[in-house]
Amino acid sequence: MEPTLYRNARIFTAEPGADRPTADAMLVQDGRIVAVGAEAAIAGRAGTGAPTRTIDLGGRVVVPGFVDAHTHLMMMGEALGKVELTSARTVEEIQRRLAAARGEHPSAERLLGRGWLFDSIPGGAPTAAMLDAAVPDVPVYLDANDLHSCWVNSAALAELGITDETPDPLGGRIVRDADGHATGLLLETAATQTVWPLLESRTTDEDRDAALERAFEAYLAAGVTGAVDMAFGEADLAAVERAIDRHGGRLPIRLAAHWLIDNHGDAEQNSTQLRRAAELAGRDFGGSFRVVGVKFISDGVIDACTAALGAPYTDGSNADPIWPADDLRPAVLEADRLRLQIAIHAIGDAASSNALDALEAAAAGNPSWDRRHRIEHLEYAAEGTAERLAALGLTASMQPVHTDPAVRANWDAMLGADRAARGFAWPEYEAAGALLAFSTDAPTAPHEALANMYVATTRRSALDRSLAAVEPQFALSLGSAIGHATRDAAASVGDGATRGRLAPGYAADFAVLADDPFADGPEALLDTGVAATFVDGREVHTAERAGV
């Protein structure tokens, strides 16, 4: 293929330590970067064989394609097919959007929505009656922003078989009014063990295929060229294999997956899952998809007081880990022996300490190999965690969007001011020298990479710009934040020498931004868009308003 020279650009290469665009031209051939630098210096590298195609980028900023280092691709695609409610800040607006969606899909058997905020509803108390007023005829299921609660209408309560007599499930609550009637709000397992299985049982392969396509498209439009799925299972695998076939042998983005291991409290059942993951990790799915390892969800989340803390929540409660140390340690040891890359979800400080102990024991107990284990979230970690991570060569996998001020009030209240003040302390990991990989954990937060960079660099809200910053001393520079979301995110799955930077020999995965946040400041991250996205040197997305 003829080489292509991209010129008149402001290229941010994401070399370690890079803090601003440093090159104005880039030469690409056969999907790889041949040279990056000053146009005068690299133009001579072209022109030896085939004629060089030249593309003038009009002075725009170019960054490496973002790698979403922790996401849930299928759920993200499913969420994108639901009515968006995060930006609906009143009950009336929520009702208006639902009625409009119902009007557009009059034959749909049910109506699904996503992302509503407790803040948008008077007293934080949504009711079925509010939804019945907009859509009375079919079941309506609305996921809360944190995916831990579901707000439903009366038809949905009937479809679920929930009556005044239905007892609360273990670990969940059917919210009831003073007269004992279910209000339409289902918390935790009352949502995840009733609504989710019902909707899952109604989901067809065609639905799953459409969801994956929506996710691919949304990522490419956001400048995201790679992703790491953090709770992969059999249904995901089948859908991804169909997508590989549909796309002629390779996915539109590069995908790595961690196989979800459930704790059955039974060593043999846990081991069976690990062996299945090891078998898949050894399988060749073509270059665009790999199973790299496993995922253990060792605790819950702070908002619901289900994350395991060293000292109780402000309400006096605390949570037991989902993977107690005695279950986690042998499973981690075996996964490490099978050379599976281990990711452990640990949000509370007790959980991350447990995770570190288990990973430390595995490193001590097994022969050494090229380990790339990681801890997910680390929202509130014990002091010294960053240093232990760095010493063990572990990746800190963190989500700036999870500290968006719009979702921090309850988080802060549950932890109390002293602990909250050390939440999401990214500079601690930089200072300790741990690999820090950024991601969005979509769909628990918006998947847009630039909005994630806004929160990382300002500690302000990408959802509501009127809110004040939280712990602004932890904000990172733009160059540093983009590096964690490109170079370090790629390195977290072993692609550090091939993707995530714009350097000779690297894949030509990059995004062209419509505006220049380096020159114009962080607000440009929210106002700007991605003008074009390239994967392996092919232009796979072009924005309508700002084509290249």
Provide φ and ψ at 67, rounded to 5°.
-120, 115
| Segment near Zn ion (CB under 5 A); pick from 57-65, 332-340, 357-365, 434-442 | 434-442
The residue among 46 and 344 lying less far from Zn ion, judged by its C-beta, is: 344
User: What are the start-end ranges of the H helices in 393-505?
Assistant: 409-415, 417-420, 426-432, 449-458, 478-485, 487-491
Q: Are 57 and 9 in contact (CB under 8 A)?
A: yes
The residue among 406 and 442 lying less far from Zn ion, judged by its C-beta, is: 442
Instruction: Give the integer Cα–Cα distance in Å for 439 and 376.
Output: 10
**Cβ 442 to Zn ion shortest distance, Å:** 9
89 to 222, 401, 405, 406: CA distances (angstroms) = 24, 19, 15, 12
**Cβ 445 to Zn ion shortest distance, Å:** 10
Instruction: Give the integer Cα–Cα distance in Å for 244 and 241.
Output: 5
Residue 143 binds Zn ion (CB under 5 A)? no
Helix (H) or strand (E) holding 528: none
The residue among 159 and 441 lying less far from Zn ion, judged by its C-beta, is: 441
**Cβ 280 to Zn ion shortest distance, Å:** 19
Residue 336 binds Zn ion (CB under 5 A)? no
Q: Kindly write out the interface string for residues 211-250 of this chain, putting x where it contacts Zn ion by CB under 5 A and - elsewhere.
A: -------------------x--------------------
DSSP state of 59: T
Residue 412 binds Zn ion (CB under 5 A)? no
**Cβ 152 to Zn ion shortest distance, Å:** 24
Q: Reading across the β-sheet that carries 510-513, which strands appear in turn? A: 10-11, 61-64, 510-513, 530-535, 538-542
**Cβ 441 to Zn ion shortest distance, Å:** 4
The residue among 303 and 441 lying less far from Zn ion, judged by its C-beta, is: 441
The residue among 75 and 524 lying less far from Zn ion, judged by its C-beta, is: 75
The residue among 29 and 395 lying less far from Zn ion, judged by its C-beta, is: 395
Q: Are 250 and 219 in contact (CB under 8 A)?
A: no
403 to 217, 459, 463: CA distances (angstroms) = 26, 7, 11
The residue among 35 and 347 lying less far from Zn ion, judged by its C-beta, is: 347
The residue among 63 and 261 lying less far from Zn ion, judged by its C-beta, is: 261
**Cβ 75 to Zn ion shortest distance, Å:** 9
Q: Among all residues, whose Cβ is closest to Zn ion?
A: 441
Residue 334 binds Zn ion (CB under 5 A)? no
Total binding residues toward Zn ion, as defined by CB under 5 A: 2
Residue 441 binds Zn ion (CB under 5 A)? yes
**Cβ 46 to Zn ion shortest distance, Å:** 43
Touching Zn ion, residues 168-207 (CB under 5 A): none
Q: Are 537 and 28 in contact (CB under 8 A)?
A: yes
**Cβ 484 to Zn ion shortest distance, Å:** 17
**Cβ 70 to Zn ion shortest distance, Å:** 6
Touching Zn ion, residues 79-138 (CB under 5 A): none
Instruction: Give the integer Cα–Cα distance in Å for 273 and 230.
Output: 15
Alpha carbon 261 to chain centroid, angstroms: 18
The residue among 441 and 536 lying less far from Zn ion, judged by its C-beta, is: 441
Provide φ and ψ at 542, rounded to 5°.
-135, 125
Instruction: Give the integer Cα–Cα distance in Å for 534 and 65.
Output: 8
Residue ranges binding Zn ion (CB under 5 A): 230, 441
